[in-house]
Amino acid sequence: MSDQAHAPTSRPKPPPAGEEEASATLKLGEFQDVDTLTLSEASLVINALMVKRRKDRKDRNETDVLNKTLDYLDAFARFKQKENVEAVERLLSAHKELTKFERAQIGSLCCDSADECKTLIPSLAEKISDEDLQELLDEMAKLMTS
């Protein structure tokens, strides 16, 4: 038998899961107080940046990941017009009782009902009444069709 060290035969353990959790109680770790964008806002920002880069002829860095991200945002961003994106942001920002993360989730998911919204975003349960949430969702829905 040789005294040589052998490589381990099993895979290393994956690192332990972080503290992040978006359930009834938000635990976002290092992202707790970070500004959060809706998919529509992210689409506006990235598309504006791409237009500027193309205008400045600095579009050499368009990667496959960037193009796939843009495709995803184009498919799932609910508000396409800048005015509507800004109006939704104003509606959401008026609800100071909600975290930035919760407001971004509401603006991205665009649920039909308060019940659906609270099911998908459990941390909303005790923060906003069903009536107030439904009113917010109804106002947002008007902006999707205009």
pLDDT tens-place string over residues 64-73: 888 899 999 9
CA 1, distance to chain mean position in Å, is: 57
Whole-angstrom Cα distance, residue 82 to residue 132?
Answer: 25
Question: The pTM is what?
Answer: 0.75
CA 109, distance to chain mean position in Å, is: 9
CA 118, distance to chain mean position in Å, is: 16
Enumerate the β-bridge partners of residue 27: 21
Mean pLDDT score across all residues of the chain? 83
CA 32, distance to chain mean position in Å, is: 13
- 3 has pLDDT over 60: no
- 115 has pLDDT over 70: yes
Confidence of residue 22 (pLDDT cuts 50, 70, 90): low
